[in-house]
Every structure is written in C-alpha cells, then in structure tokens.
Structure 1
Amino acid sequence: MNDPGLGAEEWDRIQRTLHWGGPDHQVTTVNMSTSPDISTFIINDFKDTYHVGDELHVTIVAKDFTGAPKRYGGDFFQAKVYSDKLKASVFGEVLDHQNGTYLARFTLPWAGEASVAVRMIHSSEAVLVLKQHRNTDSNRIYFHGYFVGKNLRGARVEERVECNIKWDGVVLSTQRNCCCEYQDARTRLTWQCRKPRSLPCDALVDHSMGGYRNRMTAPEKALMDSKHVNRWLKGDARLLRVNASNATIGVRQPCKPGLPTPIPAGFYLKDVWTSFVCAARHFTVNDTAKCLKGKNVYVMGDSTSRQWFEFLIQTVPTLKRLDLHSVYHTGPLMAVDMQNNINLHYRSHGLPLRCLKTPLASLHYMSNEIDDMVGGPHAVIVFNMWAHFTNYPLTFFAYNVFLVRRAVVKLLRRAPGTKVVIKTANTGYKDIYGSDWLSMQLDRILREAFRDVGVYILDVWQMTACHYNKEDIHPAPVVIRNEVDILLSFVCPQ
C-alpha cells in the first residue's frame, strides 16, 4: 500500500481489529451453513423483575440446516432489546465464542416491558463468500466515463466506456495500452478508463455508475438469498419487566472530541435517542438556527451525509438553497441563511462514486477539499466515507482514510478551533455488492485511524441497527433527526 503516514505497526493493529473467525474448510452444500430458522437464543438467568441499569446476557446457539450445532464461529448476528409499545430499543454487543455459540450483552435503560430480538445478517459461510469476492472480484461494480469531442469530420461525438480505480487486485483490462489513466497529483490516486475508439484521453468529461456483475456460483447465490440473509431467529420470547431504579445511568459530560463509543452508545425511548457518549441535547428549530449562527458548515461524503444537509434545510426555514446548476445528487450544493449568517455546503466525495451522470470536475477527493479549507472557530466540517468503497480491497479504503486523516491533522494544526465530526457507517446493505459486514469492516478502519486525532466520531451504526423502522441505506427521518441532534450537540455543547 502506497501509504500516506500509515506505519506497519498501525496497519497491524488495524488488521487485528478486522479479524473475523469462520469456517476453515470449503462449504460444498448450503445445508452446512447456519440456518436462521433452526438457530435459537435463550435469556440467561431469567428474572421475574429487572431494574434500569441491569445487564442482560443472552446465549445464541447456531445450528446448520440439518439441525446439527455449529462447531465454529463467524456468523454475523445483531441483537437488540426493544419495546414496540414504548418505541424503545437498545443495541446489544455480540461476542463470538468461536464454537458455534455467541453471547449478546445488553444494558436495560428504560422502565417498562421489553423483549429480546436476534437476527442473523449473514452466516459464517456467507461471510466467507463476501471476503472472497471483496478480495478477488472488485470490478463486480463498474462505472462509465463519457468522452466528448469532434471526429475528423467535425461532428460532435460522445463515447461511453468502462472505468474503475487502478489498484492492486482491480483489473480493468489485461491488454497493454488498453486504458487512459488519470492520476491526481496530490493523492496519487489513479482513475482509469478504457480508451475510446475515436477520441483522445483528455476528452473525458462526465462520470456515472455503470452496472453490476454477479459472478457468484449457485451455492454462493443461495447463501446470499432472502432465505439466508437478514432473518430473525426464533428464541426466548419471555417478556422482561424492568422497574425504575435509583441508580443513574448515562453521562453528563459535554459532547467534545475524542470521546469513545461504548456499547450501547445510547437508546431510543418514544423515538428519542438518549446518548451514553455525552450529554446530547434535543434541538428545536430556534435552537438549531441559534447553534449554527455565524457558522460555515461543510458536509462531505455520500448520500447518507447529504440527508443531514437536507434535514437542516427542511428544519430551518430561513436556510434557502441556492441553485448552483450542479447535479443534485453529487453537488456541490449550498444553502444560505442571511438572517443568521449561516453558510451550509454539501459535496460528495471523489471517485469511486455510484451516481447519475455528472461532470467529472465536480468530484473532488475529500482530502484535497480539506487541504484547501481555512478552518477556524466558525467552521464545522462533517464527513463520512464507506458505502461506495465496500467492494474494493481493504488497502484501497485504508489509503483513502489515511489521506483524509493527514488532511484533518494538518487542518487542526493550522486552525485548532475547527470542529470536525465524522459520521460512521450505518446499516442497510445486505447483498454481495455492499453488505453490512463489509461496511462494518470499513467502519472499524475509519474509527481506528481517527481514534486519537481529536475529532468527534458520531456513531450511527447502533442507531440504525436497533431502530424499529425497516432498515434502509437511507435511514428514516426520525433517525436522521436524532443523528442531527448529536451533531448539533457537538457544535453547541452548552
């Protein structure tokens, strides 16, 4: 990896955080995989009454489709305690014993009734499929480049070709001189496109998503179909009765950089998220405008961060979006509040980006954008990166993350008053092109890379995994509202 400040020791530490157990043999039949219909869970040491703040343990037992207990780990389970009546939920930590059993741990944070739910996102055998395709089949997602110019007769010509990143393990073509290459001078990242038939390489103008290639075998497709993915387990249905407690749970420290993310990071009650990370506030329209008054807010990343941009515009009536004549999904976008002197910006991250046809010149690498920022006490920078990187080798994502880290470190050095917020990955993907398991691996790299940098890492993984809304890569408005409350709590902790 051509690495921007990433040492061997740090990369080793990251790889340790990515370790995931699983089968040590080739899976020849789907019956050998973990069955979500036969696997089960039981509440350990069940009590007639619990108290707020108690810890609950649940044992998950994985079985294959023949009913035999699994003897190895690696299944990707998610667990929550919830109450539909109270619109309450809390995320649980799942620990893999590497022998076919798992322990889910919860903190019980509200008084009232509650139930336990466990779902299998992927079997360990499906995780093995995801690993193999990530490492050997990166161009299963491809892109289009649009070349525009004039032919020898002077007529306008547009040619569309296939494009992708240039990186070890990603092969656009094995033919020599097949491609046009475009290396960014600062990041040293290279984008490549097949050469057009009649136009020169410098005629590349636009970029878009190309398509998907499914190269899975029949058994692999079975492991990734709806019968085997994202299925709730049948298990212990006993109702938990939780009484109020004199003990105080939660934290009162203000939201500030460098805070760790516990499990759970918070909980929903009546659709309102209470954070265990810091004393997050809940903002009215007036509070939001007051908090952002005099601020330049730069939101960068993918469409899930654009949801924050959209939410703020919908929430603050004095924020008006300007028409920059850009492609909306990629930006750049801008909204201005003249009354409160708020400037709100959005720009998608650079290549690779799955998007509608958009000018290539609009797609800037995020590290370059941050390098060009002045920063300061009136600047708030919010970014995320994960969803468009899931199908590539981990080294490619790590290289991009450390480019951004280097840019952030330099920014905070020259303008220490700048507020920097990183939005983590959220759940929602469940297929070979962008599974939650792949997203989680990228998320671990991002968190580890920025652990000691002095930024606020805003966890939305737990917030999306445990909410009752049907999971979507673009979370529901009620979830976005709670996410933005935490963002604003970091900008305005008092």
Structure 2
Amino acid sequence: MEGSAGLLSSVFVQVLWSYSSGDRQANQPLPRPCMQHHNKTQRPSEPTPEASTAPPGLSVEEWERMLKAIHWGGPERQVTSASRSTSPGHSTFTIQDLKQSYSVGEELHATIFAKDFTGQPKRYGGDFFQAKVYSDKLKASVFGEVLDHQNGTYSARFILPWAGQASVAVRLIHSSEAVQALKQHRSTDSNRIYFYGFFVGKDSHGARVQETLVCNIKWAGVVLSPTTQKNCCCEYQDARTGLTWQCRQPKALPCDALMSHSMGGYVNRMTPLEKVLMNSQHVNRWLQGDSRIITIITSNVTIEARNQCKPGLPTPIPAGFYLSNVWTSFVCATRHFQINDTAECLKNKHIYIVGDSTSRQWYDYLVRTMPTLKPMNLHSVYQVGPLMAVDVQNNVDLHWRSHGLPLRCLKAPIVSLQYISNIIDGIVGGPHTVFVFDMWAHFTNFPLSYFAHRVSLVRRAVVALLRRAPETKVIIKTANTGYKDIFGSDWLSMQLDRILREAFRDVRVYILDVWQMTACHYNTENIHPAPVIIKNEIDILLSFMCPE
C-alpha cells in the first residue's frame, strides 16, 4: 500500500496542475488556466469592458485572478472566411513515442495538429479540443489534459489507469474562430435569451387583465428592449442581495401586478459566417488520427486515491477514470454505495440541493432508488420547485429548488424563484446539514462580471454559514458538458466553471467535479447526463457526506 501511494504521488502531484480550493498557502502561486489550456506563451487578453473594473463583491485582485483563470488565446484578427477556420476533417493527432506496452500508471502523450479547411497548418491557437483514452470493450475512459502551444499545435497528456487495450480519441468542440464569436456574443448580445413576466390584475372597470411582457436582468451591457418610453420598465430589487430584475412596464397594470415568470425565447443574431462556424460540420467533431492500439499491462501498483474525502481537496487532471462503467476517483477515497449503504448515509440528514435541472437529477435519482424516501406533493412547478421528499423511518428530509432569476423554465410563480445566497442565509446548518448547489447553465449568455457578482454573493453566504455552523457540509456541483450552440456552449460553461472554482479556492467546501465525468464517457453528451453517469456522481456525493 505504501508503495502504491508513493507512485501515485509521483504520478499526479509533481506533474499535474490542478484546481485549488481550501488549504492553500498564502504564497502559493495562482493556478494556471483550467481544464483544457494553459498557454505556453501568454499574449495579453484583448481589452474588454469587463476587465476595466471589478464587479461588486470582488476585490480588484480577485477579479484579476478570475480573468487570468479564464484567459484564452486565439486569432489576433477577425477571420472573414470559414475556409480559414480549423477543420476537424483536416486536423489530426499522433501518439508520441508509442511503446510496445505500458504499465498501469504510466503517462501517454499525443500531439494535435490543427489545420484549416484548405489543409494548411494553423499558425495560432485557441481551438477548444478535448481528448481521452478509452476502451469500448472495457467500458473504460479517462480524460486527458490538452495544452495549447499557441502555434497551431497542442499536446495531450494522459494517465493510463487500467490494464488492457486502449485507444486515443480527440475531438474539436469549437474552432478558435468559433470561440472568437462566442466571446463577442457574450459581451455584446446578452439579451439573445429573454424572459416573460406575467402581470395579472384588474383595470379601472374591474375587469380582469393579464399582460405578458419581456423581462431580463438589470446589468451593464444587458439591454431589455429598445423603447422610446420615458418610464419603460418596472424594476424589482432584492432587498438582501441588491440584485435587480426588470420587465417592460404594463399598459394597464401597476408594476406590483407581476405574478409569474417563464422562459421567453431565443434571438439568433449570428452573422452568416458565424452560423457556418457553429454548424454541425464544424462543432463537436472527432478527428481522424493515430489509431494504433495501446497495450497496458498490470503492475504491482493500484492507481487510486488514498486521501479521505474532506473539504478543500484540489481536482487533478484526470480526476478519475471509468472502468466497467464505474468511476474511480483520484480526488479522494470515494465509495460505491448500495441501497442499504445509501440509507445509512442519509440517516438523520437535512439535505438541501439548489440549482438547475442537472442538480435536480440528483434529487430524482435518490427519490427513485430509495424505497423509504417518499416525495411530498407541495403543488409546485416541477422545473422550479420547491420539491421535498421525506424518510420518516431514517429521519431524512431531502429538498430541491431552482436557483433564482434568471431561469429558463415553464410558467411559475415568481416568488418561487429565490436567490441561492438568500436560501443559504435561512439555513441554520450543523453536523446533520448538507447543502449542495450548482450555478452555470442559465448564466452562459450574460457578461462574466454579472456571473462573478452572483458567485460573490453565494460565497459570502457560504462563509457566513460555515462561520455559524462549521460542521455543515457545503458541496459545489460543477458544470457538466452537453451544450454546443451559441446560447449555451461548453466553452461558455467552462469559463463560468473556472470563475466559480476560483471564487471558492480559499473556502472549505467540497468541489464535486462532473466536467471530466461527462466529457470522457462513451454516452452521447447531453446537458442531462445519462443515468449511469448520475449514479457515479451520487456515489461521490455520498462519499463526501459519509467518508467512512
């Protein structure tokens, strides 16, 4: 055991950079940009309005760290022809110095060569590649680290964690030119997703009136609608957070007649060139490359995590691997729970889950698989909540509700939409309390400064909760892959994920990384991951709740 732990340390600690949270030395260097790239040669980021001042709730230093964490290289000028964009059909990859066999725990390296649609090598970086080593036969896969050399070539590095045969796969999620378009629309086109507010009341004659009007966040750079009205809008400021929601002003009703909220619609303002860069021939395409088989032999080493699960642990790359559809974590010593184990872990727990529909999958999974956990009918809108299930036998109450505005959902009472920070402020906390949250999927089209401000409010609330009840377990579910369009690209999600991680780097919370779990699995990617993935996510969640 001591030998295997020693090799694991040499394999992972010395080589991998990682996300940081908790237990960080004051003089520890900042983490390099996360997930796919850390740039070999950094060019200054293009100036943006977001970089000028720190959002409320963040210091200048914190905002600069976030901007550094999300820095992304790319073309220095606007590309005017799709033929000059990165072509998944022409780009390729090759395994470096392939050996006859490898031992479990060894590294494998590959080089990716980006080319445009004319077959010419690219001379700059910024492409969004993902890579994995996998085995269909073994239902095994592991996420690879991709490094951008900013010259059209990329390095992919893998750990080989199982015995057997394997292959390398690389896909182009977005070309650097498409990323450039995503950046542009995020900064200048935030109202491409809009919402409806439903106003209900009576007119001067006593007749019932309903008006449906466009709504959105109030934030610099987000235009609600062009109008010539002097008083165009109703504003709704939350007393605790100071966040403001706004709607067009009704013609016949007062502003306080706002009763319900729903998704409005999407406005596609992409140029013809951008539409080509974001079409199915350019996005999320596997590269043709080195098809040689990798042979991995057994050794006297078991590659697994030895740390007990506790808050503040970093997330390495890889964070774990699949074998026979079961995820083994490298973050900490997770367990695989059967029904009886799950019941014992949940016993005497108050579990609050707040976020979007991907966190609601966790609530649904537990209710579906635990016979003693019975859902209560709270007569709420399923997409919004609140939802609640109780297990009287084991003294368990499980809750889920969506985060506050903005939320893309069916029509629901607007009072049901509560900001995460306000929910946390209402929790007593303690050794029997578990609070889980996620926030990313409904924020992809808004300015980064807005998201960073929202995150700062949640961080403040979490810090206060842990101060008054330090034994409370706070778990952050990260973003998962699945979006591939202008309204919710994985690249946009990844940038938000980096900001969230950076904000909580010094707070004693658990980071449950599902990005790698969804990116490397063989299932077709979906914003709502397949049940086999959810089962593995739940095992990690329960391991955080019950480490032994």
TM norm. shorter chain > 0.5: yes
Is structure 2 residue 235 aligned with structure 1 residue 181?
yes
- For residue 173 of structure 1, report the CA deviation from its aligned partner: 3.0
CA distance in 1, matches of 2:93, 2:326: 28
8 Å CA contact retained: 1:2, 1:399: no
Q: Identify the residue that residue 35 of structure 2 maps to in structure 1.
A: none
Given candidates 385, 392, 402, the residue that maps to 1:331 is 385
Q: Does 1:401 align with 2:459?
A: no
Q: Which of 219, 243, 247 is the aligned partner of 1:193? A: 247
Deviations, residues 103-129 of structure 1 (Å, cap 9, x unaligned): 010000000010000000000000000
Question: Quick one: distance in 1 between partners of 2:490 and 2:473?
Answer: 29
Give the TM-score normalised by structure 2: 0.89
Give the aligned partner of residue 169 of structure 1.
221
Runs (5+) with no aligned partner, structure 2: 1-52
Please show how residues 357-376 of structure 1 align to structure 2 within 5 Å.
357-376=411-430
CA distance in 1, matches of 2:300, 2:56: 51
Deviation readout 1:415-439 (Å, 9 max, x if unpaired)? 0010000000000000000000000
Letter in 2 for 1:199: L
CA distance 1:39–1:3, change in 2 (3 Å) = closer
Q: Distance in 1 between matches of 2:54 and 2:356?
A: 25
Secondary structure in structure 2 of the residue aligned to 1:113: strand
The answer to whether 1:302 aligns with 2:362 is no
Count matched residues. 494
Counterpart residue identity of residue 314, structure 1: R
Distance across 1 between alignment mates of 2:511 and 2:505: 9
SS at structure 1 position matched to 2:177: helix
CA drift of 1:138 comes to: 0.2
Aligned-residue offset at 1:2: 7.5
**Corresponding residue SS for 1:396:** helix
CA distance in 1, matches of 2:140, 2:210: 54
C-alpha contact 2:81 2:273 (8 A) present in aligned 1: yes
- The letter of the residue matching 1:356 is L
C-alpha separation in 2, matches of 1:486 and 1:182: 39
Match of 2:81 in 1: 29
Matched residues in 2 for 1:4 and 1:101: separation?
Answer: 39
- Post-superposition shift, 1:452? 1.3
* Native 8 Å contact 2:57 2:453 kept in 1: no
- The answer to whether structure 1 residue 342 and structure 2 residue 396 are counterparts is yes
Match of 1:430 in 2: 484
Give the distance between the partners of 1:223 and 1:245, measured in 2 at CA. 46
Aligned match of 2:154: 102
The answer for the alignment partner of 1:322 in structure 2 is 376
Query: For residue 7 of structure 1, what is the aligned residue in structure 2?
Result: 59
Distance, in Å, in 1 between the alignment partners of 2:127 and 2:162 is 29
Q: 1:247 Cα deviation (Å)?
A: 2.5
Residue 196 of structure 1 deviates from its aligned partner by: 1.1
Aligned-partner residue type, residue 328 of structure 1: Y
Matched residues in 2 for 1:463 and 1:251: separation?
16
Distance 1:208 1:2, change over 3 A: farther
> RMSD of the alignment, in Å?
0.8
Question: In the alignment, which of 134, 139, 149 is matched to residue 191 of structure 2?
Answer: 139
Q: Does 1:266 align with 2:320?
A: yes
DSSP 3-state at the match of 1:161 = strand
Give the Cα separation in 1 of the matches to 2:223 and 2:512: 35
Deviation at 1:154? Answer: 1.2
Matches within 5 A, 1:46-445: 46-174=98-226, 175=228, 176-445=230-499
Structure 1, unmatched stretches of 5+, are none
- Distance in 2 between residues matched to 1:185 and 1:330, nearest whole Å: 21
How much has 1:250 moved relative to structure 2?
2.1
- Cα contact 1:180–1:193 (8 A) shared by 2: yes
Is the 1:208–1:357 Cα contact (8 Å) retained in structure 2? yes
* Secondary structure of the corresponding residue to residue 399 of structure 2: strand
Matched residues, percent identical? 74
Are the aligned partners of 1:75 and 1:120 in contact in 2 as well (CA < 8 Å)? Answer: yes
2:133–2:169 Cα contact (<8 Å) kept = yes
How many Å apart are 1:5 and its aligned residue? 3.8
State the distance in 1 between where 2:469 and 2:120 align: 60
Distance 1:282 1:450 in 2: 27
Give the Cα–Cα distance (whole angstroms) in 2 for the partners of residues 225 and 245 of structure 1: 45
Question: What displacement does 1:4 show?
Answer: 5.1
CA shift in 2, pair 1:140/1:53, >3 Å: same
SS in 2 for 1:297: strand
Q: What TM-score does the superposition give when structure 1 sets the normalisation length?
A: 0.99
Query: Does the 8 Å contact 1:4/1:403 carry over to 2?
Result: no
Summarize deviations over 1:278-325 as a string: whole Å, max 9, x none: 000000001001001000000000000000000000111000000001
Q: Identify if the C-alpha distance between structure 1 residues 395 and 3 changes in structure 2 by more than 3 Å, giving closer, same or farther.
A: closer
Cα-to-partner distance string for 1:452-486 (whole Å, 9 max, x where unaligned)? 10000000000000000000000000000000000
Q: Give 1:41's match in structure 2, choosing from 93, 101, 114.
A: 93
SS at the partner of 2:397?
strand
